[in-house]
């Protein structure tokens, strides 16, 4: 039989566990609810601008319907992470958003650009957004290739979960992967149709509620 564990050792262990838990709670992101009518910037590429549908059915327009926020469509077709980073300061200055939704990186992956550079650019985008006083939410983008899109084998690039953990930001995972893996929700191999953009926006709104950004 093992000797009894000293009581003071148990108390010390419990105290240390409580301290670790408390520190973990302090590091957790504390989202502030965004009021109806607030300006929100949706930063991205063609999936944000709505290629494959039209402005009224692009996901930022649908998100406006679902939330009551004034959602600025900051999507530019063909944009890479470096181009979105270069555009961001003027967008932040012009709109002064309460929240920036960051969905960018697909063109980097399609062009086989450096994933490390994309990750660093997205990190800078999120940091610039929060430095401006906005909150930020990351949206995962699949590890795009035309073959993966055509076969419906899409999974999120791991850099988004890594950055969300590093920066303590809320993350909307699997939204684009779910839509773009379904041919009935696509207008072509890498873009959604109106039905797909709505489904994406509905999933994003649900995640915004879970994160506390939307009530």
CATH number of 38's domain:
3.40.50.1110
What is the value of pTM for the model shown? 0.85
Query: Do the Cβ atoms of 92 and 134 come closer than 8 Å?
Result: yes
Residue 107: give the domain boundaries.
33-211
Query: Do the Cβ atoms of 42 and 59 come closer than 8 Å?
Result: yes
Q: Please identify which residue in the block is written with the tokens 């430095």.
A: 131
Position 184 scores a pLDDT of: 97
**Angle at CA of residue 128, ends 122 and 131, nearest 5°:** 140
> What beta strand segments (E) does 83-174 contain?
99-103, 135-139, 171-172
Phi/psi at 186 (5° precision): -115, 150
Position 73 scores a pLDDT of: 98
**45 falls within a domain:** yes
Position 144 scores a pLDDT of: 74
Position 153 scores a pLDDT of: 76
**26 falls within a domain:** no
Q: Domains in the chain: how many in total?
A: 1
37 Rama sector, left if φ>0, alpha if ψ -120 to 50, beta otherwise: left
Distance CA 75, CA 64 (A): 15
Position 129 scores a pLDDT of: 98
Question: Alpha helices of 28-78 — where are they, by DSSP H?
Answer: 46-49, 59-67
**104 falls within a domain:** yes
**2 falls within a domain:** no
- State the burial class of residue 134 (Cβ atoms within 10 Å of its Cβ: 0-12, 13-18, 19+): buried
User: Inter-axis angle of helices 115-131 and 81-95, to 10 degrees?
Assistant: 10
Distance spanning both ends of the chain, measured CA to CA: 56
pLDDT tens series, the chain, 215 aa: 445 545 544 444 434 444 334 444 334 456 999 999 999 999 999 999 999 999 999 999 999 999 999 999 999 999 999 999 999 999 999 999 999 999 999 999 999 999 999 999 999 999 999 999 999 999 999 987 656 656 667 999 999 999 999 999 999 999 999 999 999 999 998 999 999 999 999 999 999 999 999 99
Query: Do the Cβ atoms of 191 and 47 come closer than 8 Å?
Result: yes
Distance CA 15, CA 82 (A): 46
**130 falls within a domain:** yes
Position 148 scores a pLDDT of: 64
**84 falls within a domain:** yes
**89 falls within a domain:** yes
**56 falls within a domain:** yes
């Amino acid at each position: 039989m093992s000797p009894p564990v000293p009581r003071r050792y148990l108390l010390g262990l419990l105290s240390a566990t409580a301290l670790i838990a408390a520190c973990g709670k302090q590091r957790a992101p504390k989202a502030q609810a965004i009021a109806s009518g607030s300006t929100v910037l949706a930063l991205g590429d063609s999936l944000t601008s709505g290629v494959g549908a039209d402005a009224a059915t692009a996901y930022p327009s649908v998100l406006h319907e679902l939330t009551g926020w004034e959602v600025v469509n900051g999507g530019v077709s063909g944009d890479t992470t470096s181009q979105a980073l270069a555009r961001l300061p003027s967008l932040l200055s012009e709109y002064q958003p309460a929240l920036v939704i960051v969905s960018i990186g697909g063109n980097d992956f399609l062009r086989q650009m450096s994933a490390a550079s994309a990750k660093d650019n997205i990190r800078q985008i999120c940091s610039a957004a929060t430095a401006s006083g906005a909150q930020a939410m990351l949206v995962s983008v699949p590890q795009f290739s035309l073959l993966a899109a055509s076969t419906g084998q899409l999974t999120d690039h791991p850099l988004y979960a890594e950055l969300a953990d590093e920066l303590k930001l809320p993350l909307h995972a699997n939204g684009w992967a779910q839509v773009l893996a379904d041919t009935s929700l696509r207008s072509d191999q890498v873009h959604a149709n109106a039905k797909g953009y709505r489904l994406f926006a509905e999933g994003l709104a649900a995640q915004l509620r879970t994160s506390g950004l939307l009530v």
